[in-house]
Chain A
Amino acid sequence: MKQVEDDEILEKFSNERTRNEAFNLLISKYQEKIYWHVRRLVIDHDDADDLVQEVFIKVWKSLAKFRNDSKLYTWIYRIATNECITFLNKKKQRNQTPLNEVSDELSESLVASSYFNGDKIQMKLQQALLTLPEKQRLIFNMKYYDDLKYEEISAILGTSVGALKASFHIAVKKIEVFMLNDEISL
């Protein structure tokens, strides 16, 4: 199925009669990408499901005010990223636990999840990711899994390309060390 161009979606959305159609097209185009982006950050499927719906509610509310000074998908990614960070912060405050303990909690839900199909190496890679600071994990996911360019990530996170490169390289080195040094114990 041919992907609809963002410009077409935006044009249809600007028309009152075709607004719902445009939004359906937008959901169809981005729902999976946004879901996986969210899922890799919050790990749990149910949390990801709730957050994806919240993201698209925000997109629906704000799309009329969207200006073409950024790309549509970077704008949606930014909304999704902010929702995830807010969610993780709330989780931290609710449990009154420091961020590293939230990572432990995510790691536990990763092991206990019935919606995880990776082998031991994939599980270890996910656990290595959970040892990273939130922003490094975010950058690594977007670069490694979503294969986004530094310029695109920069547009999403509002961080300079240089800082992104540095963060990504640090993250990669940490993961490499984790993968090589720690024995696989699952």
Chain B
Amino acid sequence: MIMGPGTSRHQPAGVQLKTKTKTITLMKTDEENNEWKAEAPYLASLPVENPFLVPEHYFDTLTGAITNSVYADELKQVSPASGYTVPDQYFSSLKDRILAQTTGETFNTDEQLSGDEPEEDTADILKRFPVSAGFSTPDQYFQQLQLKILAQTAEEAAPARQSKIVRLWHSGLLKYASAACFILVAAFGFYLNQQTYKPAAPTAAEIANEQMLYDMDEQDIIDHVEGNAADEPKNSPTDAELETYILNHYSQSELSSEL
């Protein structure tokens, strides 16, 4: 067996090797656990201090506090409730009894518990409540309420305030001035109306420039002018011509009968 350097004569070689291996492992572990110090030299330079405080004698009493908590928890486990017991179906009938007492009625819980009568549900019990159950009003509230309402409605029914009349004409001068203005305005309006609606006779130049004339056929215009000339009535006959015509066409007897 090869003995390592520094191996003691008094120890068996196996034990010495095991010790050496353990020492190397511990050194390696320490190295691993401290290698962060090279990465964070500032943090490594700080002293590892606990900055937190506890109240005075806290740890002296903590053991007692913990054992008390454990004891209390055990008690809860043994008896989850407070240790007190209640009669059977106590909580099932508690609500009904509270409601009955609120209305001032005596509720026969024994009968209900015995099952002699069918159980009423909460809605049925509530129906038996007066509307005002649980609420109160001051003495003579409703008598006063009626008076108050009537007083308010009477105020509302009172006639509306008369509106103030303001005279339009404070003086006679203003009245006449207004009348004069009205007449002037009316006259001016009439005048304008006449001026606006009077059709202006077209001048010869306007007619000549009328586009329609250019659009019409020239022959049509000539025919129209000649036709108008033909339709014109001839000169009226003279008295002598009329007398001649009458004497030539009517007899003496026809003329005397007509006259």
Interface residues of A (CB under 8 A from B): 23-24, 27-28, 31-32, 35-36, 39-40, 45, 49, 52-54, 56-57, 60-61, 114-119, 121-123, 125-126, 143-145, 147, 149-151, 165, 168-169, 172-173, 175-176, 179-180
B7 within 8 A of A: no
Q: Are the CB atoms of B59 and A31 closer together than 8 Å?
A: yes
Interface size on B, residues (CB 8 A): 27
Looking at chain A's contact residues, the main secondary structure is helix
Can you sample 24 A-B contacts with CB below 8 Å? A27-B67, A31-B62, A32-B59, A45-B52, A45-B54, A53-B66, A53-B69, A56-B70, A60-B73, A61-B73, A115-B52, A115-B55, A116-B53, A117-B51, A117-B52, A118-B51, A118-B52, A121-B46, A122-B49, A126-B51, A169-B36, A172-B43, A176-B41, A176-B42
- Nearest Cβ distance between residue B62 and chain A, in whole angstroms? 5
- Nearest Cβ distance between residue A16 and chain B, in whole angstroms? 15
Q: Are the CB atoms of A150 and B33 closer together than 8 Å?
A: yes
Given known A-B contacts A53-B69, A145-B48, A115 and B39 have beta carbons under 8 A apart: no
- Which of chain B's residues have a CB closer than 8 A to the CB of A121? 46
- Nearest Cβ distance between residue A152 and chain B, in whole angstroms? 10
- Which of chain A's residues have a CB closer than 8 A to the CB of B23? none
Q: How far is the CA of A144 from the CA of B33 in the complex (A)?
A: 10
Q: Are the CB atoms of B42 and A56 closer together than 8 Å?
A: no
Q: Are the CB atoms of B53 and A115 closer together than 8 Å?
A: yes
Q: How far is the CA of A122 from the CA of B48 in the complex (A)?
A: 9
Q: Are the CB atoms of A36 and B52 closer together than 8 Å?
A: yes
Could you tell me which residues of chain B, from 1 to 58, have a CB within 8 Å of some CB in chain A?
Answer: 29, 32-33, 36, 39-43, 46, 48-55
Q: Are the CB atoms of B46 and A175 closer together than 8 Å?
A: no
Could you tell me which residues of chain B, from 169 to 197, have a CB within 8 Å of some CB in chain A?
Answer: none
Q: How far is the CA of A60 from the CA of B249 in the complex (A)?
A: 164
Q: Are the CB atoms of A175 and B43 closer together than 8 Å?
A: yes
Q: Are the CB atoms of B62 and A60 closer together than 8 Å?
A: no
- Which of chain A's residues have a CB closer than 8 A to the CB of B162? none
- Which of chain A's residues have a CB closer than 8 A to the CB of B53? 114-117
B235 within 8 A of A: no
User: Contact partner of A123 among B43, B51, B62, CB < 8 A?
Assistant: B51
In the complex, residue of chain B having the shortest beta-carbon distance to the beta carbon of A126: B51
- Which of chain A's residues have a CB closer than 8 A to the CB of B114? none
Q: Name 15 extra pairs, CB < 8 A, besides A27-B62, A35-B62, A49-B65.
A: A32-B59, A53-B65, A115-B52, A115-B53, A115-B54, A121-B46, A125-B51, A144-B48, A150-B33, A165-B32, A172-B39, A172-B43, A176-B41, A176-B43, A180-B42
Q: Are the CB atoms of A24 and B39 closer together than 8 Å?
A: no
- Which of chain A's residues have a CB closer than 8 A to the CB of B85? none
Q: Are the CB atoms of A56 and B69 closer together than 8 Å?
A: yes
- Which of chain A's residues have a CB closer than 8 A to the CB of B65? 49, 53
Q: Are the CB atoms of B59 and A172 closer together than 8 Å?
A: no
Q: How far is the CA of A40 from the CA of B36 in the complex (A)?
A: 21
Q: How far is the CA of A100 from the CA of B52 in the complex (A)?
A: 22
- Which of chain B's residues have a CB closer than 8 A to the CB of A52? 62, 66
Q: How far is the CA of A106 from the CA of B40 in the complex (A)?
A: 25
Q: How far is the CA of A23 from the CA of B33 in the complex (A)?
A: 33
- Nearest Cβ distance between residue A122 and chain B, in whole angstroms? 4
- Which of chain A's residues have a CB closer than 8 A to the CB of B66? 27, 31, 52-53, 56-57
B152 within 8 A of A: no
User: Contact partner of A172 among B33, B36, B50, B63, CB < 8 A?
Assistant: B36
Q: How far is the CA of A19 from the CA of B62 in the complex (A)?
A: 19
Given known A-B contacts A45-B55, A145-B50, A149-B29, A24 and B42 have beta carbons under 8 A apart: no
